[in-house]
Amino acid sequence: MASETHSGQGSGLEIHPMDQFIVRPVFGDGPVGMFTVTNVTLWMAVSVLAIVLLLIVGTSRRAIVPSRSQSLAELAYGFVYKMIEDVTGKDGLKYFPYIMTLFMFVLFSNVVGLVPTAFTTTSHIAVTGVLAVAVFLAVTILGFVKNGVGFLGLFWVSSAPLVLRPVLALIELISYFVRPVSHSIRLAGNMMAGHAVLKVFAGFAASALIAPFAIGAITAMYALELLVACIQAYVFTILTCVYLKDALHPSH
């Protein structure tokens, strides 16, 4: 990134907004292999720990009148459960554990990534891409298993005039295959952009002249990012539900 020079800072501001996304080994300096324990491992483990803390430790008392943490756990449960029920109908509820896994992972990775100096695992295309492709493959296979060839009816818009249907089928087909791309880049892009902007403002804060503005901006951006972290987890999950609905009920 370009370094800007400001008065009294000697060599000037050094802003490297992308350095926070570098994958590093936690132990030592060696190269990053397939099974190396890296900051990815560390922060995914932190997410898992946070999930365990909320959903298992938080609900360990199994109280009829819930404590605060149990309320939160029940809220998350009810939120995803109702989302699946609303979007896909009752028959989508068997996939609740899978979708809940996705939601909890994305939500906690996003939120944990906002801890200062944290590594945001969901800001990487490799991670969100795997999630999106997994959803895409699962939904496609499920669609064919459940509906057979009838699943192709998803691309044949029977409500459109006959002449238009082949054209629409082509468009639908393309949009279907673009799904995993938009699904993954939406999440990774949102997370990456927000964290990069935070870093840029943090770099500006090194200059005494604009530090108050930069710190105010960081605060505002941080609040916005917290919102984005939750909204993107929601968006990722509800899109998964929508795709699942297409697989279960392919007719428009």
Residues lying near another protein in the complex (CB under 8 A):
14, 16, 18-25, 29-36, 38, 40-41, 44-45, 47-48, 51-52, 55-56, 59, 62-64, 66, 70, 73-74, 77-78, 96-98, 100-101, 104-105, 121, 123-127, 130-131, 188, 192
Our CB check for another protein shows the closer of 23 and 215 to be 23
H helical segments located in 89-159: 96-112, 125-147
- Cβ 87 to another protein, closest distance in Å? 19
Our CB check for another protein shows the closer of 104 and 228 to be 104
Signed CA dihedral, 134, 138, 139, 144: sign only: positive
Our CB check for another protein shows the closer of 169 and 230 to be 230
Query: Cα–Cα distance between 250 and 172 in angstroms, integer?
Result: 12
- Cβ 102 to another protein, closest distance in Å? 8
CA distances to 39, 92, 157, 244 from 82, rounded to whole Å, are 34, 11, 29, 15
Our CB check for another protein shows the closer of 63 and 223 to be 63
Type and span of the H or E element at 224: helix 211-248
- Cβ 9 to another protein, closest distance in Å? 13
Query: Cα–Cα distance between 75 and 83 in angstroms, integer?
Result: 12
- Cβ 68 to another protein, closest distance in Å? 15
Query: Cα–Cα distance between 12 and 58 in angstroms, integer?
Result: 48
- Cβ 186 to another protein, closest distance in Å? 14
